């Protein structure tokens, strides 16, 4: 097994927690750039602000709500949960978390998948509330997972419990580049 293709957390879970190789998916070449972008923002630690645009290597830029969808466009993204996922997915603009009354949102560039189909780089969507980026399962029962979450400052990369206390009801979604 090539451990360089696995996250440290996934490898530790594999060794200690009874997770099999089939339960923990290695970063593939198509996912690796997404995870690198997520890590850049995690390290840069931008301040959560729905009215700001950010790029990890150059900082902040002004939001233009009268122009581009989502107020920010490549290489800058809105500093909120959906801007973070838009950035990780490499979208040309910051899409919004879907809610009533929006014309464009993350559902325009994704499709619903099952919990069992989740893999690194997919997202977990709580309709009208929040979105987080799935990294990997931490146990074979698929009850705990690691995700990147930008619901407040700083960007978090931590373990969550599926449908745990205080958690939203998340729907797994996958970016579909053919949109």
At 179, is the pLDDT very low, low, confident or very high (cuts 50, 70, 90)?
Answer: low
User: pLDDT for 25-80, tens place per residue?
Assistant: 556 778 999 999 999 999 999 999 998 999 999 999 988 777 667 788 889 999 99
Q: Is the pLDDT of residue 4 over 80?
A: no
pLDDT for the residue 102: 81
User: What's the rounded Cα separation, in Å, for the pair 24 and 94?
Assistant: 29
User: What's the rounded Cα separation, in Å, for the pair 132 and 63?
Assistant: 22
User: pLDDT for 103-161, tens place per residue?
Assistant: 789 999 999 999 999 999 999 999 999 999 999 999 999 999 999 999 999 999 999 99
At 8, is the pLDDT very low, low, confident or very high (cuts 50, 70, 90)?
Answer: very low
Give the chain's domain count.
1
Q: Is the dihedral of CA 96, 98, 102, 104 positive or negative?
A: positive
pLDDT for the residue 103: 79
pLDDT for the residue 143: 96
1: CB partners within 8 A, 6+ apart: 21
Enclosing domain of residue 79: 3-175
Q: What is the CATH number of the domain that holds 58?
A: 3.90.1720.10
Q: Is the pLDDT of residue 13 over 60?
A: no
At 9, is the pLDDT very low, low, confident or very high (cuts 50, 70, 90)?
Answer: very low
42: CB partners within 8 A, 6+ apart: 148, 154, 155, 157
Higher-pLDDT residue of 102 and 46 is: 46
């Amino acid at each position: 097994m090539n451990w360089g293709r696995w996250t440290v957390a996934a490898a530790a879970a594999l060794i200690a927690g009874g997770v099999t190789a089939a339960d923990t998916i290695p970063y593939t070449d198509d996912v690796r750039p997404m995870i690198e972008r997520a890590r850049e923002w995690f390290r840069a630690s931008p301040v959560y602000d729905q009215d700001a645009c950010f790029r990890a290597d150059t900082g902040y830029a002004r939001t233009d709500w009268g122009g581009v969808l989502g107020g920010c466009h490549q290489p800058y993204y809105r500093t909120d949960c959906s801007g973070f996922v838009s950035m990780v997915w490499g979208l040309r603009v910051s899409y919004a978390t879907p809610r009533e009354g929006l014309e464009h949102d993350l559902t325009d560039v994704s499709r619903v998948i099952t919990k069992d189909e989740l893999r690194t780089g997919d997202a977990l969507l709580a309709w009208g509330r929040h979105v987080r980026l799935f990294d990997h399962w931490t146990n074979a029962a698929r009850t705990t997972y690691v995700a990147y979450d930008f619901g407040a400052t700083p960007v978090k990369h931590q373990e969550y419990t599926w449908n745990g206390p205080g958690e939203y009801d998340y729907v797994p979604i996958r970016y579909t580049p053919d949109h």
